[in-house]
Structure 1
């Protein structure tokens, strides 16, 4: 486990620096030196303070824009000024929450559980290391492009709004960019940890699958670097009784218990970070809905803010998908879906000696009773089914939200 004074010894620090360098807004928080971390803290604090003070300073460009926007949407100048003031105050709070989120992410990346996962999987498996680094760079690049897209959209809106100071429109809403940047980087953070845990589950899956490939017993299960040597031809079920030796299923049971400890430790390490992440997403979505309601006399912007809130809520759910894949691979029972439970159940009809069968039944009882996967206190076990249900709930609520904000069906 590393601390702030020995960043060079932290496995996550070395990995992130090798993949994307030391200046990413979120990942660098746990991998950069003190100067870079202080720079990030000052940036977020300055943006938050700027958002709080802006409505009180009332520069002339802001007064002109608020007056023009109030005339456009049919609100009084005082009401429009209040809408902007509340909006930027909420953005300031979200920026401070992002600051907390970054600190929790740094703590998670420096935890012993995550460092151990990297030590065990990436140090000796060069092929997975190259694939992992490439996926991390791709995810980081996508987050940068998405942020540029957000800035571009705001720039287009500033031109289409026909405000007296279109460039200042972007400046006034700039605190939103920092929250968006931190949220996009959290997707990279979640993907990094999910890839590590998924590889751990895949290793156990290959080991369990090798049981039917003639590789059994405690000896001979692992090849060089801990990988499974599955070069033997798959045995027929009738030959399984000759190759399944006592102790094999007990070995797999112990390996599965180790896997559960890894997943539990990782779930505990990231739970606080994910909780703050979801609260920031929820707060941003509620802010968009509130602004949509405030713009109810103009159908186009009202509808746009509702759709923006819907997109943000869905993106928060989609961010959890890499974690859901881990849980499904561990314990899904759906027909035809690849999972440890389905694979282990495949051997139930294969002939075994009485002693080996007793061990197999003990192994299956453990597999059926123990919950395996990613557990978050506010969501429970993260599965694709639970995420799909939340997405469908948002889809059902979307028409109601549009109706309540009068975006499509009514003008004020």
Structure 2
């Protein structure tokens, strides 16, 4: 399970030893929110009507729980990836990230089409992407680049297939480990191959793609939602290619009610709010400004994070040091401060039960209870979603309801993720 990755800690400022929420670490050549270069016809983010349709948090390359291609990278290969947008529009653009690359990333070309079955693209739907009106683009080490706007009508909950041709050696790849969506690769330039038959190599991670934004169509007020956290936000243990993560289920609720909304998933499996690791990304405190704050059209953030800090710091032999409840609270307060400084409403979710998980302990349970009580009663968050009580087994409140348990006693099942989305008062967002 992603939450059990006991890997070396990223170097952090000394202040993190006592107050993890005070100073941001620098990683991959970036500090603060990464500034992304844009395509030639889109000079800025504000005031242009762009809003997030899909997102993921990128991570440093590494071999972790799920086999992936991040360390070997790509050369003379086409990389095909599927994303499902939460809201639609009449134009779309993609953000490519090289945040953790040590050298520039050269993309020889890119195309997007409407997803068919597996690696296939619907016949006649493939369109070339441009970057500053050029087919090729170089993404600087530590940087990010937006494509030009592509006039393409996209529906809420529609899946799009992005194909990148990577001719030159990329080196280790910035990626997202637990995509729970199949990605494909094949030799040669197959950007416009719609059959998908040559894409026989598969992975369940995403590479380089970090955001999809749309504009046009009914925009309404600024009302996008970012879900922020660890593997339970990431959807770990949900069915691959089924889009059953709780943010997906939340987007489906909005669409079903006839009011589709931007719902963006910035969860990372194994992530901690107080500390970063090479395998599971920068700490929640440090990545919040890079992953969440640049998202356009967002009004609300839902924060669900801390179970890995609790569990890993109590696991015998773990490289994670003891993390106190005070440190956890300080980290949550820092995220709240960052969100409010940008005018965002910030909603806290209580940590879900984990009795029976490999890293469960009574001492860790006491920390979870204490943090949950602070989330419920401190008034620090604008609103609270009590997922602890929503998913707890009435016969043993420290455990997940059996039907909501994926089997590892930590991550929800598909039914559990659905229950999380149903527990959210959507009007409060």
User: TM-score band, normalised by the shorter chain?
Assistant: under 0.3
Q: TM-score, normalised by structure 2?
A: 0.25
Larger strand proportion of the pair: 2
Greater relative contact order, per chain length (Cα 8 Å cut-off, separation 6+): 2
Q: TM-score, normalised by structure 1?
A: 0.26
